[in-house]
Structure 1
């Protein structure tokens, strides 16, 4: 009898592997061969899950967004406390631990890819719109866009060690109401 495979679980496994690869070695290292080897599946299994590399990268981008949302929701204790919620979202956006560093590096690489892949660009625009809308509930539209841009701009310097977590939070604190 053929082995039954949970394709959605396999897709998530592959996506998690791609995040590790891109986050540590860059987008160009995320070849089908490398992904398959590191995920412990065959190249054919990767290709059955994703028809093209662009399909894979789009899935990874959505997957990273879903992981981000899940981490935020797991930390929110009082949904009515918008101040605490805002700080949680900001904290999760900053690459301050291993998981967030991998995801931030991956997201930045996929942001660059989004400039040439319209479908990835649409996923990124949708994520930005959702974040702006959330921030706007506390800061208004202009304040939301400004703060989000500031936090996004801190990600690269944090990733390369140009600033510390304390410096990043000090910059953010100066902008919070």
Structure 2
């Protein structure tokens, strides 16, 4: 009887190997051979899961996005009785990857962002990852603004885009040592507080 292979599990294992190598070397240092060795599978197994390196990288990028999304969801579930503004703050905290335990993930995410500047395939995948985040942030900002006491009108879409860009920028500044993580979190929280003034 032929051995049953968990293809979904193998694809996730390969994605983890891609992330590990990208953290060590950047995406330019990720080869199929090294991914196979890191994942402890054959080159043929990698090629059966992914037809091209780009396909493998897009899957790994989606894998990171899913992990971040799962953490956001878990954090929201832990504190179910909260306002839209509080939920937005929790989501922005998780997305900004400022915690020490997320530093490797932040390096990998930014390696993908850098590579996307020269790869339309990765750029498209990143746009697809950002779209639902932008929608969720737009909705939360709109809900919070309706329930708050703002004196000036607020454009929820523009504010959602600003918040996504701020989160990525703060991640970069922490990774290069320009800002300490606690300073970056202070900036993020001050921006969120300013939304409701």
Is the TM-score greater than 0.5? yes
Moved more, 5-14 or 130-139: 130-139
- Tell me the residue number matched to 2:114: 112
Give the alignment of 1:137-176 within 5 angstroms: 137-139=139-141, 140-176=156-192
Moved more, 96-105 or 136-145: 96-105
Count of paired positions: 177
What is the rounded CA distance, in whole Å, between the counterparts of 2:13 and 2:101 in structure 1? Answer: 15
Alpha-carbon distance in 2 for matches of 1:145, 1:96: 19
Distance in 1 between residues matched to 2:101 and 2:19, nearest whole Å: 10
Shift of 1:108: 1.4
TM-score (normalizing by structure 1): 0.90
Can you list the C-alpha shifts for 1:125-144, whole angstroms capped at 9, x where unaligned?
A: 12222222222223311211
Query: Using the alignment, how far apart are the partners of 2:170 and 2:181 within structure 1?
Result: 10
- 3-state SS of paired residue (1:96): coil
Partner of 2:57: 57
Task: Give every structure 1 segment of 4 or more consecutive aligned residues whose post-TM-superposition deviation is greater than 4 Å.
Answer: none
CA distance in 2, matches of 1:146, 1:96: 17
Counterpart contact for 1:79–1:85, Cα < 8 Å: no
CA distance in 1, matches of 2:100, 2:55: 26
Q: Do residues 6 (structure 1) and 6 (structure 2) align?
A: yes
Task: Tell me the distance in 2 between the aligned counterparts of 1:25 and 1:157.
Answer: 19
Question: Quick check: which has more Rg, 1 or 2?
Answer: 2
Residue 131 (str. 1) matches residue 126 (str. 2): no
How many angstroms apart in 2 are the aligned matches of 1:120 and 1:109?
Answer: 11
Q: TM-score, normalised by structure 2?
A: 0.82
Secondary structure in 2 aligned to 1:76?
Answer: helix
